[in-house]
Amino acid sequence: MQKSIVISVSHDLGVETARARVAAGLEQLRRDYVDKLAHSEVVWTGNAADLKVGAFGHNMQARIEVLADSLHIEVWLPWLLAALAGPIQTALAQHAGEALRIESKPQG
């Protein structure tokens, strides 16, 4: 059974700057880590990125919505990783703000 993680990242960068930073960060993450071990795909529709990562027969999906004053990040973990949802959410919340140089806080 899939498990959903939701994170909200506040910012004061405006949509264009935040979207550019998200796009650059995703590209670096894919290039440096993900594509070495898995297949990944990022599709932008307006100011929302849909991500798919597949490895070892398991798929993970995520959606990042870039809003005027925040990012809304939702990650759907496959059943194999669902037990690690808490630590994964904590790590994402801590590193999302660092990576984008903006404040982050977990929801829910």
Domain that holds residue 65: 3-106
pLDDT for res 34 = 80
Q: What is the pLDDT of residue 104?
A: 46
pTM of the predicted model as reported, rounded to 2 decimal places: 0.80
pLDDT at 99: 62
- CATH number for 97: 3.30.530.20
User: Total domain count for the chain?
Assistant: 1
Query: Got the DSSP string for 26-77?
Result: HHHHIIIIIHHHSEEEEEEETTEEEEEEEETTEEEEEEEEE-SSEEEEEEEE
Per-residue pLDDT of the chain (108 residues; tens, 9 = 90+): 788 989 998 888 899 999 998 898 888 888 887 888 888 899 999 999 999 988 878 888 999 999 999 999 999 988 877 777 888 788 777 767 766 664 444 555
